[in-house]
Amino acid sequence: MKFSGAYLNVFNFLITMTKHDRYTSFVYWLTIFFMLITFTPQSHGQSTSFVKVDTWCIGRYLIDLPKGTKVEAEFMTKGSKVFTSTGISMIQFRDTVAARRQTLKETRHHNGGVMLVDTDIITDDYITLVSWASEASKRMYKYETFQYMEEHQVLYLFSGLGTAGENQRKSAAAIQRSSRNELRYRAPTEVPSECGFCINEGLILTSSPNREEYTAVMRLPQYPDVVLELESYVTNNPGDSSNQQKTPLSLKIGNYFQIKTLRNRKRDIGEAKGKEHLTRSRYKENGKYHYQFEWKTQGIKGSINYPYMRFTLRTMDGSEENYFFSSDKDVLELWESILNSLRLRTRA
């Protein structure tokens, strides 16, 4: 190994030093070393590699998100919207059902009666209220099924519409009874091993084709100006993936200049055939960058495992910061780290 003259001079100097001198010199240079590390300017761009993540089950898919991410999601199964309320006592559950029933009894329907049609108490913790879909409705009923799990203090409300009529009511009642055992509690970040459709704090234990749908909005703690959204629904009319729109999402061209396409290509996620379209724009008002990314698959007809899906990333308008990204590379790394984690759950 060869050394430069400067290194040889330092080496010869150290040899001639006393033991005390060597110790004093070592402490001195060690202090200088740590001062350099401490005060060296750091890059303002944030790293997009997340050491700690939580795996979220949304519908029949999994996605890895940084710890602390807030997820707000709305779900539909078998054509009914699902609402989840936590921290509900048995008394609160009974009061909720009673209050809703009383409201329907006191609201007049245009046929001269009241909105409430029937109360079906299947069990003490599983009750369906049947009412007219609206004050003027003559052909549609609204079914509101309240399912309570006392052990976890969680209340689920399934709200959907059905054709009015005695036979249709009997059919709906049969479906409601058969559906009671299809729901189990699930912790927010639990990844279930059974087949089923993940909802807020729950798992619908079904594997047969039905009308499933959801929209999930994700906010990352490291990037307060970034909004991620994942939406999905089972479709019987999948379109093509040509994706010929030049301005994705809700971008209004009049507010921007220098719109640049970063990517526009086919991209598959597992067996889901899709396409991604990524753009960067600049505001006319303040010159700041604005990113709008989209990946979309049209899905397979009637498939619950391969539905229509759309995953987007956008930066919010009007921030004083420049979205915490120092370059296109940073936002692309964030996009890749999350989109690459999207996958169909095993035994979904």
pLDDT digits (tens, 9 = 90+) for 247-301: 444 445 556 567 899 999 999 999 999 999 999 988 766 677 889 999 999 999 9
Report pLDDT for 73: 98
Report pLDDT for 328: 93
CA distance 77 to 272: 21
CA distance 1 to 24: 28
Domain boundaries, the chain: 54-78+206-344, 80-184
CA distance 186 to 151: 12
Q: What is the tens place of the pLDDT at every residue in 86-120?
A: 999 999 999 999 999 999 999 999 999 999 999 99
232 pLDDT more than 90: yes
Contact 314, 292 (CB under 8 A): yes
H-run or E-run covering 99: helix 90-106
Farthest-apart Cα atoms in the chain, separation: 109
Mean pLDDT of 121-149: 97
Q: What is the tens place of the pLDDT at every residue in 62-87?
A: 999 999 999 999 999 999 999 999 99
Burial class of 206 by CB neighbour count within 10 A (0 to 12, 13 to 18, 19+): middle
Report pLDDT for 46: 45
- Specify the pairing of strand 140-149 against strand 154-163: antiparallel
Report pLDDT for 290: 87
Which phi and psi (to 5°) does residue 34 adopt?
A: -70, -30
**Exposed e or buried b per residue across 210-235, where buried means at least 16 C-beta atoms within 10 angstroms of its C-beta:** eebbbbbebbbeebebbebebbbbbb
- CATH topology agreement for domains 54-78+206-344 and 80-184: no
CATH entry 3.40.1000.10 includes domain 54-78+206-344: yes
Name the architecture of domain 80-184. 2-Layer Sandwich (3.30)
CB atoms within 10 A of CB 340: 11
CA distance 27 to 33: 10
User: Which amino acid would we find at residue 215?
Assistant: T
DSSP string, 222-237: TEEEEEEEEEEE--SS
Q: How many residues does the chain have?
A: 348
- Higher-confidence residue of 288 and 23: namely 288
44 pLDDT more than 80: no
pLDDT band for position 326 (cuts 50, 70, 90): confident
DSSP string, 95-146: HHHHHHHHHHHHSBPTTSSBSEEEEEEEETTEEEEEEESSTT-SSEEEEEEE
Which phi and psi (to 5°) does residue 231 adopt?
A: -125, 150
Contact 330, 246 (CB under 8 A): no
Average pLDDT, the chain: 84
Q: What is the pTM of this model?
A: 0.80
Contact 262, 247 (CB under 8 A): no
The answer to whether the Cα torsion of 104, 108, 110, 114 is positive or negative is positive
CA distance 230 to 232: 7
